[in-house]
Amino acid sequence: MSVLVTGGAGYIGSHTVLRLCDAGQDVVVLDNLTTGFDWAVDPRAEFVQGDVADGALTRSLIASHGISAIIHFAGSIIVPESVADPLKYYRNNTSASRSLIEAAVEGGVSHFIFSSTAAVYGMSGLEPVGEDAALAPVSPYGRSKLMTEMMLADVAAAHPLTYGVLRYFNVAGADPRGRTGQSTAGATHLIKVAAEAALGKREKVAVFGDDFPTPDGTGVRDYIHVTDLADAHALLLEHLRDGGASTTLNCGYGKGASVRQVLEAVRRVSGVEFTIEQGPRRAGDPAAIVARADRIRETLGWVPAHDDLDAIIASALRWEQHLSQRNRHG
């Protein structure tokens, strides 16, 4: 009944590993530490440093640890980078996932949970987007993830494996108990960037575009607290283990916040008037993307506990302070 968590040393993976270990599960983490940190892995889990594309390694881990389920977070995650270097994304998100899915099938793994993204929807607009909406990703990142979704559906139709695809909207915040958080060096995510500015680690924050068809002209996103997202993974695993059908679920709260609103909230919560500068649009950015979020509640009984932008920001700021202290003390 062990669970293999790929990318468990990363931001969302490390929160989910905590959640699984808190529930007493046996967890094996596989991570190559390109963007993750070994110290972020809960010591109750076993950590293996390696690449998900290494079929010999994943086959041997599945066999030696009796892996019955895989939660696959490992991947490359930056939308504009995928526009500049698409082959990196097709290699690390699509091709590496293919290799892992093959090892799962060969090893008789029963359940597979995959980290997908709201970016599969493309230009959905301000109306909340449901799971059955047209899939038209506008970035190589979104396409690299959609291809993996399609592979999983085909594989599950041909082999005895059930899967869950979770399409995350914009993930932010940190473990309320301060055990882990977003630690990525050179992060590009808005709330992380703004938290760094509030703590004086950056001089300013640029607003990427103010001419989008949104109420204040800046990009609108549906920000979800990482701890609620970790809960969704635990519930989905339970659903699949209880014989539940394969499913694809949006992970968001169903409401949007604009870049301006987020930056104002970070200023208010931190009490720091960091500099905000207007800049041009960034490549690959849709104007708005907000989840229709009823299916996940109905399927999993998921009830978010942290659905509040100020609380998300406060936890991100607390983690950013923790990182500063950590760096000061080596």
Ligand X SMILES: NC(=O)c1ccc[n+]([C@@H]2O[C@H](COP(=O)([O-])OP(=O)(O)OC[C@H]3O[C@@H](n4cnc5c(N)ncnc54)[C@H](O)[C@@H]3O)[C@@H](O)[C@H]2O)c1
Q: Work out how close the CB of 306 gets to ligand UPG at its nearest, in angstroms, rounded to a whole number.
A: 17
CB 62 within 8 A of CB 69: no
12 versus 198: smaller Cβ distance to ligand X: 12
- Three-state DSSP class for residue 282: coil
Rg, Å, the chain Cα set: 19
100 versus 198: smaller Cβ distance to ligand X: 100
Residue 259 contacts ligand UPG per CB under 6 A: yes
Nearest residue to 208 (alpha-carbon basis) of 184, 186, 190: 190
Nearest residue to 283 (alpha-carbon basis) of 205, 144, 188: 188
Nearest-angstrom CA–CA distance, 317 and 197: 10
Q: Indicate the helix (H) or strand (E) that contains 260.
A: helix 259-270
Please choose, out of 15-23, 125-133, 189-197, 237-245, the segment that lies near ligand UPG by the rule CB under 6 A: 189-197
* Binding site partner of 79, from ligand X, ligand UPG, none, Cβ cut-off 5-8 A by kind: ligand UPG
CB 253 within 8 A of CB 224: yes
Binding map of ligand UPG across residues 279-318, x = CB under 6 A, - = no contact: ---x--x---x-----------------------------
Tokens coding 250 = 């949006």
Specify whether 253 is catalytic. no
CB 292 within 8 A of CB 129: yes
By CB atoms closer than 10 A (0-12, 13-18, 19+), residue 295 is middle
Residue 219 contacts ligand UPG per CB under 6 A: yes
Q: Work out how close the CB of 217 gets to ligand UPG at its nearest, in angstroms, rounded to a whole number.
A: 11
Q: Work out how close the CB of 281 gets to ligand UPG at its nearest, in angstroms, rounded to a whole number.
A: 7
For ligand UPG, which residue of 205, 236, 257, 293 counts as binding (CB under 6 A)? 205
* Binding site partner of 128, from ligand X, ligand UPG, none, Cβ cut-off 5-8 A by kind: none
Q: Which of 141, 163, 223, 253 is catalytic?
A: 141
Active-site amino acid positions: 141
Which residues form the interface with ligand UPG (CB under 6 A)? 77, 79, 117-119, 169-170, 188-190, 193, 205-208, 219, 221, 259, 282, 285, 289
